[in-house]
Chains A and B, each alone.
Chain A
Amino acid sequence: MKRSITRLLMAPSVILLLAWMIIPLSMTIYFSTIEFSSYNPDQNGFVGWLNFEFFITDPAFISAVSNTLILLLSVLIITVVLGVMLSALIDKPFFGQGMVRVLLISPFFIMPTVNALIWKNMMMNPVYGIFAWISQSLGFEPIDWLSTYPLMSIIIMVSWQWLPFAILVFVTALQSQDTEQKEAAQMDGATGWHIFRYLTIPHLARPIAVVVMIETIFLLAVFAEILVSTGGGPGYDSTNLTYLIYNQALLQFDVAAASAGGLLAVVLANIVAFFLIRAVGKNLTV
């Protein structure tokens, strides 16, 4: 195929993505350096770093950044560790495997707003929720999850959504594992742990890298779960960067500070992505 034709075929995707990236991003950069208020749009002079200063010195900023990272790392650890262990345990033929797959993947298809509402009400409600009923039956005081452990509640909701995905990816990957190698190791007297540690884990390196990458893309942008369940509170205890900026832009109409915050979110995502794309890029055959 001629180079020119190849270019032509790729052009729409590349141009659209470039535009999608550059136009709004440069507008964000512009807004972040001016004084801007939706109430009086005529008043907009250049103010330099002031908006960034305003955003960074806001006490909410530090907690939003740390909440974002805690949320990301906790969900990654929970889903990858539990996912690897559970998938290794169920990677043998058993009764009703197809049905189990169907049940397992279901949470992945539940929309985030529904996810948050089910957990907030039917599971975690301190009076009528299932958790409250369980702890009462066991003789404990029911916990008001959303106000006592807001960030952990969000972590539980998001992990519930992504654990099934991790399990299914790992189970699929394990099915392509060399059984002869495993049997040979067993003959040589390797214990189950050794097989898991030295055969299964290395086999899963690539799927783990992929799961981490996909989840990171979505986890940095967790929004609806927070909006619907805790509203970022109490205080800023469950506010992540996405939610903080949304709050700044559409609830407080502070366009300039929100833009500055948006750029900081981009920088944070780029730092995470830099390491990730490097690690994962090696693992993807192109």
Chain B
Amino acid sequence: MTLNQQRKLKTFITGLFAWTIALILFFPIFWMFITSFKTELQAISIPPSLFFEPTLDNYSEVQERSDYVHHAINSIITSFGSTILALIIAVPAAFSMAFAPGKRTKDVLLWMLSTKMLPAVGVLVPIYMICRDYGLLDSKTALVIIFTLMNLPIVVWMLFSYFKDLPKEILEAARMDGATPWDEVVKVVLPLSMGAISSTALLSIVLCWNESFWSLTLTASDAAPLTAMIASYSSPEGLFWAKLSAASTLACAPIVVFGWFCQKQLVQGLTFGAVK
């Protein structure tokens, strides 16, 4: 074998290997998608059927049985609402830490991260009771507030790790020209960091969309996002995997497709820029 052939063989084996892993890991999702187009009988047939006449009945039944649209709107409102709130609070903080770091900046950042380490369950009882006393059980407002606070440390960290890579000279130049700190943020930093802010927003949206501790403990029906709607399918009312698959596909599709387009930024973001 020539060297060139050897290299080609190596590439082929690497590719084969990578595709095998990817397909195995993707299989459950593929299977969920396929099952959503089966009848309930086909869904539980053994051996599993790969070729069948696809039906869309499950999807319409999911809408009828559990009002998908209502829960999807809840998911959209809570994840986008809390992401916007978190950004408004976090951008100034990350900005000041990145451009005017003090002696305590590192401590503050690590402290913020350590609040993420506080397990949600440690404050479950008081949060539940506060929500109950203020009529916030099963309300989107409560979820938005909690999601905002929950993701605030990650959002600050991510923005900080992007901001600190921005060239400081530009800001100094702006300051020479008499820009106020407000101008610096709005006219210089924000335009330069739209990419950073949007990938931070993406990550926050994904985390909120999939959040399933507070959404399961604090909501029942009115404010229940998709995670809670899906959980209602776990009750053993018999086998209805096709409908379950349709509901799951509907619940995940928006965020999975969304994630495909920005997976690279998401990985970079979730590692706080430590991996580039």
Contacts and interface: CB of A to CB of B under 8 A. Distances in A.
A21 to B, nearest CB: 5
A93 B8 CA distance: 11
A106 B24 CA distance: 12
Interface in A4-28: 5-6, 9-10, 12-14, 16-17, 20-21, 23-25, 27-28
Given A1-B100, A110-B252, A286 B18 contact: no
A93 B11 contact: yes
Contact of A12 (B92, B115, B234, B260): B92
Contacts, number: 307
Interface stretch (B51-59, B192-200, B204-212): B204-212
B3 interface: no
Given A223-B216, A246-B217, A117 B234 contact: yes
B122 A16 contact: no
A207 interface: yes
B48 A130 contact: yes
Contact of A242 (B101, B119, B231): B119
Interface of B: 10-12, 14-15, 17-19, 21-23, 25-26, 28-29, 31-32, 35, 44-48, 89-90, 92-93, 95-97, 99-102, 105-106, 108-110, 112-130, 149, 152-153, 156, 181, 206, 209-210, 212-213, 216-217, 226-228, 230-231, 233-234, 239, 241, 244-245, 248, 251-252, 255-256, 258-260, 263-264, 266-268, 270-272, 274-276
List 4 tightest A-B contacts by C-beta distance, closest first: A94-B15, A24-B123, A27-B126, A224-B212
15 contacts: A13-B156, A31-B125, A107-B29, A110-B29, A110-B210, A111-B230, A128-B239, A128-B241, A163-B25, A224-B231, A246-B124, A259-B125, A262-B123, A266-B122, A286-B106
